Each structure stands twice: as C-alpha cells, then as structure tokens.
Amino acid sequence: MDVTLLGTGAPQGLPRPGCPCAACATAVGDEARAATALLVDGVLLIDLTPGPAFAAARAGRSLAGVRQVLLSHPHDGPAMEVPAGLPQPGRVADGRELALLDGHRVRALAVDGPGTGYEISGADGERLLYLPPGAAPAGLGNGTGRTAGGGAGGQGGAGPYDLVLLDVLARPDALARLRAGGLVDAATDVVAVHVDHDVPPGPELHRRLAAVGARAVADGSSLVVGEYHAVPDLPRRTLVLGGARSGKSLEAERRLAAFPDVVYVATGGTRDGDEDWAQRVSLHRERRPGSWRTVETCDLVPLLEAARPGREAGKPGSEAGEPGKEAAAPGTEAAGRGAGAGWPGAEAAEPAAGAGTGRPADASPLLIDCLALWLTHVMDEVGAWDDATWEAGGRRALRERTDALVAAVRATRRTVVAVSNEVGSGVVPATPAGRRFRDELGRLNAAFAAECEQVLLVVAGQALALRG
C-alpha cells in the first residue's frame, strides 16, 4: 500500500489561524501543516484537508480515482470542501468492516473519544492503523498489557501493524497501549499526525518524537506500508540533569510516556509535617500516567538487576499498597467506550506481565527520580555528614555504595531513565557537609553519565543533549 499524507496537522492546521504563539510563528516551510488527511493507493481518502485536490496535486497525486471517502472524527477546524466528483464522506460503525472492490479492507475500531479509528489492510496483507486526533484505543489496554475489563490487548495472531499514524504528542499513552497489546513493535513505522502548536516545530518536535520511537514527515509525503524504515535508536540508559524547577522530571517522564509497564522509582519517600514536600510529591503523582507502577525505595541495585517483574514486589517500598500507586486514569478506556468494538483480542484471557509486548518479562522500564535524594539517603546511612565518621570509614562506605549502583547501571538490561540535580554551578555551600554533598553528587553524576547512552541537561524547560 502507498499512503500519501495530504496533511499532517491538527484539525485547525499549523500554524493555527490568528494564533500569535511562538510555535505558530515558526511553523513555516515543511513545518507548516494542513489538517491531517490520508490518500491510500489513490482510491481511499481518510479525512479531508483544506483544498484536498490541490494538496494531492502538490504531492504528485490525483483524486480522480478515489472511490471512498471516510471521516474519522467530528471536524472543528476550517470549513472543508468536497471536490466535485468525489463520493460523499461517510463513517463506518465501530466494529464493522468495509470491503472495497480493489481489495482493501477497512475495519472501524473504537477509540476513547469522539471519532473512530481505522485499520486498513491491503491486498498483500500489509496493515496500517490510523487514529483520530486526541484519541487512544478503547478496550485495548491501559499501558500494562491488560485491558480495563480484564482482557488482553493482544492481536490474536495477526501481529503488529506495519504503519501506525496517531496523535503521538497529545496521547503518548495510546502508543503505550498499542505496544502493550503487541500491536506495535520495533519494526513498526510510527508516524505522528494531527501535529498542533503545543510543541515547538523543527528540531524540538523531531527530538521529542525520536525519544519515543516515532517520527514526523512533511505534508505531501508518501509512505510505502511495510517498507523498512530506520526507526530511532532508543537509548537503554538516559540521565536527565537539571537545576531546581528546571523541568528535568517532566522531560524524563515524557521519554517513557509512550511505553507500557513503566515502574516509577521515587527515592524521596514521605516527610512527615513537610507540606511543601507533600505538595511536590502530589504534583508528580498527578502528572504521571495512571498505568505506571510506583516504588518508593532507595534500594536501586535489586531493581536494576531484577530478572523478572515479581522481584520488585518483595523489596522495600514495592508498589503493592504504596502511596502513589495510581488507579486507571480518567480518559483511559475504563472511562470511554468499554466495548472496545473491533479491537482484535480485546476479550482474550489476561496475559502474563510482558506478554504480547515484544519485550522480555523483566524489561519494564525504570524511571528513577532522583539520584540526589538517593545520595542523601546513603550519606545518612554511612554517617557522611559527620567529619569524624566520614574520615573513619564513611568515605569508603559511600564509594562502595555508589560504585555498586554504577556497576548495576552498566550491567542492567532494563530501559532506565534517571533524574539528578546539577548543583555544581551555583553558590559554594557555606558548610563542610554542604560542600561534601555537592562534590559527591558531582562525582555520582559523572560516573552515572559515563554508563549512559544519552545524557541531557535541562535548562528553563529546554533539553540540551550532552551525549547521544
């Protein structure tokens, strides 16, 4: 199948009409995007974009052969024209299948918002999935490999899609659900559509997409479904550095938002009577996807060495019963159309952890937030704040603990994103203990970074790549 993207933007396009924001001001050239519309093999048109005939001609295509026009969502953008000679647009009911005379088959799939997803199969068995803006699969799963109703999101034998087009930036959890259900794997070409002005166009847009294994293409691009395309090489280990309130935790969370079974490792724990700390913890919990599991612990080495998911459960601070363990989030399929109409395997038996994801069972990604609090805890345990204890053995004990952590990072087979404070550029601490912490955190950051494929420094919410 050949798919031409007549548009790749949000329903209102990019730039949005009359919008003065910086993203819209810089959306020029290939970064300017009309409302998303797909032309499949010149015969099937999915959604409409302003001036579709002109958009097709600009891409070297014609709408003369179009036999079916399908809409995926209620349109709230600029008025759309239906060129003369095209069939009237229609919708396919969720769960129903439409067979076209030229051999294409279109199955309508339920999503958790207004609109319908479409699975399109070609005569040679190629398969693509297209989701409307702001939508995620309904009844497929919540990013843990399990459906809201207890069933699995597995494909039931059909395997992963060759091409997936969805609103990656607004709904990274949709990509996580597809990965958990085995519908997206490392060979799937994931292309972002419905691109809006929430992310700066250009390098920042492409950086964020690459971090979750997706890409964006310009309006008028043609894609061959099933053709090999080099997907972004996702790093196994990433260290995100930054100062206070720099956006480092948000950057780390973005990097795993499109992956299932994430284990969030909170090293700060709780602090009785500290209202400011409680508010910070609450904000972090509210921001995390509801499907993530939370572990509150500073015992990081066993997590990095874990051979199977069950090993976390027996460790201090395991997610069972811990504060911060989230239930299904609003907007997941539990709150949407529970029937999950049309999604293959939606009623199958629940799989074991990791089943159908294309990953080993012990491969749940870890997000560690943060190393500075881990170091504070370890320095407490070894008595590093007291000068006499420090010289009598505290220094050696701290080195042993940090060396063990760094060695575990080097050997881990899990995807790890760790957050740490960059404290070496500020005021020199007034106390020996403060200077000791600053120095030891600098050493830990450097040793940890040496074992990571990617290192980022976040300043004023902007991520700068130091490595990778």
Residue positions annotated with a catalytic role: 284
**What is the distance between the terminal CA atoms of the chain, rounded to a whole angstrom?**
34
- With contact defined as beta carbons under 8 Å apart, do 251 and 458 qualify? yes
Positive or negative torsion for Cα 388, 389, 393, 398: negative
When computed from its CA atoms, the radius of gyration of the chain, rounded to whole angstroms, is: 24
Cα–Cα distance for residue pair 236/418, rounded to 1 Å: 11
Give the burial class of 153: count Cβ atoms within 10 A of its Cβ; 0-12 exposed, 13-18 middle, 19 or more buried: buried
- With contact defined as beta carbons under 8 Å apart, do 69 and 89 qualify? yes
Cα angle, residue 445 at apex, residues 440 and 451 outer, rounded to 5°:
130
Cα–Cα distance for residue pair 20/218, rounded to 1 Å: 22
- CA 245 vs CA 213, 232, 241, 310, 460: distances in Å: 27, 29, 11, 34, 8
- Reduced 3-state DSSP string for 70-88: ECCCCCCCCCCCCCCCCCC
Torsion of CA 53, 57, 60, 66, to 10 degrees: 20
10 Å Cβ neighbour count for 60? Answer: 9
- b/e burial code for range 273-310 (CB count within 10 A of at least 16 → b): eeeeeeeebeebbeebbbbbbbbbbbebeebbebeebe
Contacts of 69 (CB under 8 A, 6+ apart): 45, 46, 48, 82, 86, 87, 88, 89, 90
Cα–Cα distance for residue pair 257/253, rounded to 1 Å: 6
Cα–Cα distance for residue pair 49/28, rounded to 1 Å: 18
Helix (H) or strand (E) holding 421: strand 416-421
Question: H helices within 59-166, ranges in order?
Answer: none
